[in-house]
Amino acid sequence: MTDTPYLSKGDVITRLLREMITRGELPPGKLLRQRELAELFNVSPTPVREALRRLESEGLVGSELHRGSRVAEIDIDEQEENYLILAELEALATRLAVEKMTTEDLLEVQARERAFADVAADDPAAKDLNREFHFRVYESARSPLLLSLMRLLWSSFAHGPQLWRPHSKSVEDHQRLVEALALRDSDLAATITREHVLGSIGWMRAKLLDTPASRT
């Protein structure tokens, strides 16, 4: 029997705020007032201050003298470049996965695709289910180096790389990818993956700049 790790109030508030930011409930630029957050979580201001300091070290929160803390703004050009890199790495991982994927791998990918499709768009579990689906595909490539690079790159998206695209569109893309994997069509699977990642750029720019965009 393993002991459950002790979580301080600061740990709990950090986790809750991190989830709210990465899910988009607290959008970039949102002012984070310590007193309001303390009332929201029914704690004293001390664990809130601790949580904000931790999230600032993670790049999720920024602070200015006499202006308090805010959810970190997103550098659109930097994020777009990260998406371009991610698209190529994920396309490569998908192509390798098709070549090495076992029947068991495919069944597990299909199960994760269904789990994500069945979850509500506003369910906090959607973010983790999306990640599990993608990385179960990439694990099938049997490339530890490539997998570690993608984990590092995913972490560069403080708010998560899948923040912008509507849940219904992700479900559609995932279904197309699973069909290509089942057909063992590496070219099609890699193309779907690349377009899926690159499509996030249009959704991101449309959301942050409040302008229409061509989204794939």
Question: Cα–Cα distances in Å, from 203 out to 6, 113, 156, 162, 208?
Answer: 39, 22, 18, 10, 9
Using DSSP, state whether 64 is helix, strand or coil: strand
Domain ranges of the chain: 9-71, 76-209
Give the amino acid at 193: T
Confidence of residue 3 (pLDDT cuts 50, 70, 90): low
What pLDDT, on the 0 to 100 scale, is given for residue 32?
94
Q: Put the strands of the sheet holding 31-32 in their side by side order.
A: 31-32, 68-71, 61-64
Q: Which residue has the higher pLDDT, 21 or 175?
A: 175
Token pair, residue 97, equals 């996965």
What pLDDT, on the 0 to 100 scale, is given for residue 214?
46
Whether the predicted pLDDT of 212 surpasses 60: no
Q: What are phi and psi of 95, to 5 degrees?
A: -60, -45
Nearby residues of 120 by Cβ (< 8 Å), 6 or more positions away: 126, 167
Task: State the average pLDDT over residues 130-148.
Answer: 95
Whether the predicted pLDDT of 174 surpasses 70: yes
Nearby residues of 126 by Cβ (< 8 Å), 6 or more positions away: 116, 119, 120, 167
CATH T-level fold of 9-71: Arc Repressor Mutant, subunit A (1.10.10)
> What does CATH list as the number for 76-209?
1.20.120.530
Q: Which residue has the higher pLDDT, 177 or 68?
A: 177
pTM over 0.75: no
